[in-house]
Amino acid sequence: MSGPAASLKPFGQLEALSASAPWAIFPRKKLDVTYGDIGAGLAACLQLREHQRQEYEQNIANLWDPSGHAMVTLSIRTGFDLLLQTLKLPAGSEVLCSAITIPDMIYVLRYHGLVPVPVDLNPETLAVDVELLKKSITEKTRMLLVAHVFGSRFPLDEALEVARSNDLLVVEDCAQAFMGMQYTGENRADVSMFSFGTIKTATSFGGAIIHVKNSAVLEEMRRREKRYPCRTNLFFFKRLVKYGMLHGISTPAIYGLFLHACRAVGADHDKVITSAIRGFSGGELVSLIQYRPSMALLGLMHRRLTCMDEQYVLQRKSKSERLADAIKDLPNVSIPGYCAEKHYYWLFPVCVPSPKDVVSYMNKHGFDVTSGATQLTYVPRYDERWVYNSAAFKT
């Protein structure tokens, strides 16, 4: 794929100078955004108004799928909640889930009275184990929720075949798998969901696109979403200022000073970073996600999708592949997803016997890695002895 050179983030050509500082530490993650994008978002806060909402939502949805089967929501959680509201699956229905996902998706399932049932992943490809998938289906199973994790994406052919033969809805969570407009969802899946949250590829500091194959389901989701209050441009303005400052800290020289300062005052920089970038906090999750995106967020989303820095993604992939090749044969080291057919390394996980020792060693040598700051978790197995009580959960 040809195109312009990838942007060095956050400060372009000054990044090399920053990295050469004796105290520099390379951060674990840099936001996939430029200050030009942030500036455009700030301008949108001042320029865009509510009467333009339909125009922008339609432009984004049509850009994603000209056939009209997509909608924009505040987050994937928002879209997933709308889907479950619309489907009204019987309480106690089981949803087969990739065994690794984010806790909020499990929360939303349980909020709707549904039972998440984990299906283990193949550690080499991160694909769901089809044989275990078959064994996990019961008369209560209604849905398969597949998560493409760490930036990998696996073919859904076998999973779709199992789902179709058992009359299951297939929902594809692509929050970590977006790499450009060449993949906008598996067209055989019932629902595909993509995130543009803060740490995602092509971030717009929020927003999601939900692709729904069934037109009637999509229209009902849209109808319900229109009843939500709208996030304000002022809310988004504050968000952009906050993340603009955090983005600047991610240059190696400043990030090194930040880590040294945290250590000097006894602060856990892992906790500081995680709390700063968490998308929804400070209340009950469902009450936080039932909003419409601000107009400024829609404006920034449209910009990011039409000015996608695909070379940045390809560069990340190339660097990650070189690192994987360099460490894959080390003793007691494994790389989940190393054999994945499609992998763009949104996250680079490594399994080692002593994570804390590796973290300490890497930190001393100028690289900030972490063993516990990710929001990903395993899905706990449902215990049949526990009687699920949706009403109790909601309180």
What is the residue-wise DSSP string for 285-328? HHHHH-SBPPHHHHHHHHHHHHS--HHHHHHHHHHHHHHHHHHT
Structural tokens at position 295: 């107009």
Mean pLDDT calculated for residue range 83-105: 97
Query: How do residues 120-142 score in pLDDT, each as one tens digit?
Result: 999 999 999 999 999 999 999 99
Q: What is the dihedral of CA 99, 101, 107, 111, to 10 degrees?
A: -70
Band (pLDDT 50/70/90 cuts) for residue 12 is confident
CA distance 297 to 238: 12
What is the average per-residue pLDDT within 54-62?
A: 98
pLDDT of residue 280: 65
Q: Are 70 and 64 in contact (CB under 8 A)?
A: yes
Which candidate, 172, 160, 205, 266, places its Cα nearest to that of 31? 205
| Separation between Cα atoms, residue 310 and residue 329, nearest integer Å | 30
Render pLDDT for 212-271 as a digit per residue (tens, 0 to 9): 999 999 999 999 999 999 999 999 999 999 999 999 999 999 999 999 999 899 998 888
276 pLDDT more than 70: yes
Distance, CA of 167 to CA of 186 (rounded, Å): 18
Q: Cβ–Cβ contacts within 10 Å for residue 258, how many?
A: 19
Q: How far is CA 135 from the centre of its chain?
A: 28
Distance CA 225, CA 204 (A): 20
Beta bridge partners, 95, equal: 116, 143
Q: How far apart are CA 221 and CA 223, in angstroms?
A: 5
Task: Spell out where the chain has E strands.
Answer: 70-73, 94-98, 100-101, 115-119, 141-147, 152-153, 169-173, 191-195, 208-212, 342-343, 377-378
How far apart (Å, rounded) are the C-alpha atoms in residues 352 and 334?
Answer: 7
CA separation for the pair 84, 224 (Å, rounded):
11
Phi-psi region of 337 (alpha: psi -120 to 50; beta: other; left: phi over 0): left
Going from the N-terminus, what domains does the chain have, and what CATH number goes with each?
33-250+266-308 (3.40.640.10)
In tens, the pLDDT along 136-184 reads 999 999 999 999 999 999 999 999 999 999 999 999 999 999 999 999 9
- Rounded distance between C-alpha atoms, residue 366 and residue 384, angstroms: 48
Rounded Cα–Cα distance for residues 255 and 268 (Å): 14
Task: Read off the pLDDT of residues 343-381 as tens digits, 9 standing for 90 and up.
Answer: 999 999 999 999 999 999 999 999 999 887 567 888 887
